[in-house]
Amino acid sequence: MENREIDIELSGVRFAYNGSGPVLEGVSLSVPRGEFLAVIGPNGGGKSTLLRLILGLLEPQEGTVRLLGRPPRESVQRVGYVPQETNLNREFPISVEDVVLMGRFSGAAMRWIPSSEDRQVAEEVMERLGVLDLRRKRVGELSQGQRQRVAIARALAVRPALMLLDEPTASVDVQTQAALYQILRELNRTLTVVMVSHDLTAIASCATSVACVNRSVFFHDRAELTEEMVQGAYGSCPVELIAHGIPHRVLHRHENGNGSERKGHA
Amino acid sequence: MLEALQFPFMRNALLAGLWVSLACGIIGTLVVANRLVFLAGGIAHSAYGGVGLAIFLGFSPFLGAMGFSLAMAVLLAVLTSRNKSRADTFVGVLWAVGMALGVLFVDLSPGYRADLMNLLFGSILTVSSRELWMMAGITLLVAIAVGLKYRDLLALSYDPEFAATRNVKVSSLYTLLLLLVAAGTVVAIQAVGLILVIALLTIPPILAERSCRSLASMMGVSSAWSALFIFLGLDLSYRYNLTSGATIILVGAFFFFLHSIWTHRRQA
């Protein structure tokens, strides 16, 4: 394998919320630069927790996390994060432009008014994601797909080295989904992308590698799912999840000794 | 109403109304935007413990309420940051504990305190000049703190997860937010009392929310709504000899229902 820099590295990570059983256990994972990693798995399997550990928003009880070669807290400012949309207050009084400008904000350097450079960057990313016309609109007035574009623009306004997205296509229609994947594929030309998704078609349409998360992480460095991953991650009913209309076969029989797969213990 | 202005208590009440409007507009906006309505209610009610303590020890109930609710804000910030999903339980417990403590402190104090009703249901007509200065000072401090931390508070209020990735110190900022909510709430208690205050904190921002595109403008519009409710309420209570706090709240509620019907019809 070629020698690429590792953007995300987890080794032997264990995490539990106070007083409950571990959400993640024995997780080791490394994501080389330029990768498009799709993170899939059942609800409550620990996908979002994994992202929060990578971002340093949570600290593991065991094991280590490195982000862009450093402890996450030191490098998180170089990450463009697109959190799950569902937590947001839709009535919040804020314009599209002000949301995107949040990507230019840094808690360390207190600035009241965004600089002209900040405005320029914000304009550039809004243009790139096709939301420049909407800049004065309230975020609550936008469609789901438009709001996702705005969230991605805000993450890009960070000028990131790495994008982390949590379910960016969760409740958007199929066309919007395809458009968002198109955008993410383009971003992947210059950026490492890690995307949590419910949607297995994401693997076929953008991913270069897949991780199935269900307490442990099953990593596969090709855009394929093995039966073992699916069974480990989803348990008994994977078949339904392998949707119709996928351009190519996603479910791939695991070949012994291809050396490209690591797995944690289930 | 104009002839009422010859009374010093009425002039004090109007000035107090101005400070309360400002405090309500700023803090109410943060409460509504951060969905802290229940928590603000808890802080307001637990302030009664401070009122009781102040009566027991013989100092100003206003300072007692202030001290107690600031302490409550810190306690809630610590408890809820450790366990977010249990936040409402902690609020519920502290809400009742604060009030129970207040009742016991008053039991232990000699004499009958007529002004207790004022603290529960509002006493804008009996605000003293000294209290007026304290209200002004606290409101200005709150306004300055919100101004200085505006972008941080905006980031926290809109999306705390994203804010954390931009090096916003989310947990200390959250503590500051709760302290500001406590301070603003105690100022507003002067107008409508600690039981009714939650309506004055929430109705104006809800009326303002949909027409605003920034937190700052929502704060301004909410302040204007609060001022309207307080002055209309005062006028009605003067004309018809009604309790001012309750009248102010019902004026607000009247506008709230009109607004609800109007938005409902527009959406239908």
Structure tokens at A117: 């450079």
**What is the pLDDT of chain A when averaged over all its residues?**
81
For residue A257, pLDDT over 60 is answered with no
Give the mean model confidence (pLDDT) for residues A31-56: 90
Q: Which domain holds residue A18?
A: 6-85+164-263
For residue A110, pLDDT over 70 is answered with no
Residue A71: which pLDDT band, with cuts at 50, 70 and 90?
very high
Q: Are the Cβ atoms of A88 and B158 closer than 8 angstroms?
A: yes
Residue A202 or B171, more confident: B171
Residue A265 or B160, more confident: B160
Query: In angstroms, what separates the C-alpha of B41 from chain A's closest C-alpha?
Result: 20
Q: How far apart are CA A149 and CA B32, in angstroms?
A: 26
Among the listed ranges A13-22, A74-83, B225-234, which one has the minimum average pLDDT value?
A: A13-22
pLDDT in tens, B65-96: 999 999 999 999 998 877 777 888 999 999 99
Structure tokens at B98: 């604060």
Q: Are the Cβ atoms of A18 and B83 closer than 8 angstroms?
A: yes
CATH of the domain at B256: 1.10.3470.10
Q: Is residue A134 part of a domain?
A: no
**What is the pLDDT of chain B when averaged over all its residues?**
91
For residue A226, pLDDT over 80 is answered with no
Q: How far apart are CA A254 and CA B194, in angstroms?
A: 66
pLDDT in tens, B119-137: 888 888 888 889 999 999 9
Give the mean model confidence (pLDDT) for residues B231-239: 93
The number of domains in chain B is 1
For residue A9, pLDDT over 80 is answered with yes
Q: Is residue A112 part of a domain?
A: no
For residue B172, pLDDT over 70 is answered with yes
pLDDT in tens, A159-212: 999 999 999 888 788 888 888 899 999 999 999 999 998 777 777 778 888 888
Give the mean model confidence (pLDDT) for residues A38-56: 89
What percentage of residues in chain B have a pLDDT greater than 90?
Answer: 72
Task: Tell me the torsion sign for CA atoms B149, B151, B157, B159.
Answer: negative
pLDDT of residue A225: 67
Give the mean model confidence (pLDDT) for residues B10-26: 94
pLDDT of residue A249: 41
Q: How far apart are CA B25 and CA A5, in angstroms?
A: 51
pLDDT of residue A224: 67
Q: Is residue A40 part of a domain?
A: yes
Residue A229: which pLDDT band, with cuts at 50, 70 and 90?
low
DSSP-assigned states of every residue in A42-95 = -TTSSHHHHHHHHHTSS--SEEEEEETTB-HHHHGGGEEEE--GGGS-TT---B
Q: In 3-state terms, what secondary structure has residue A16?
A: strand
The number of domains in chain A is 1
Determine contact, residues B209/B218, Cβ cutoff 8 Å.
yes
Query: In angstroms, what separates the C-alpha of A164 from chain B's closest C-alpha?
Result: 11
Q: Are the Cβ atoms of A102 and B35 closer than 8 angstroms?
A: no
What percentage of residues in chain B have a pLDDT greater than 70?
Answer: 98
Residue A261 or B188, more confident: B188
Q: Which domain holds residue B79?
A: 2-267
pLDDT of residue B119: 81
For residue A41, pLDDT over 50 is answered with yes
- A interface with B, Cβ–Cβ below 8 Å: 18, 55, 57, 76-77, 79, 81, 83, 87-89, 91-95, 98-99, 102-103, 105-108, 110-112, 136, 138, 154, 158
Q: Is residue A20 part of a domain?
A: yes
pLDDT of residue A242: 37
Phi, psi for A112 (deg, rounded to 5): -75, -50
pLDDT of residue A233: 55
CATH of the domain at A29: 3.40.50.300
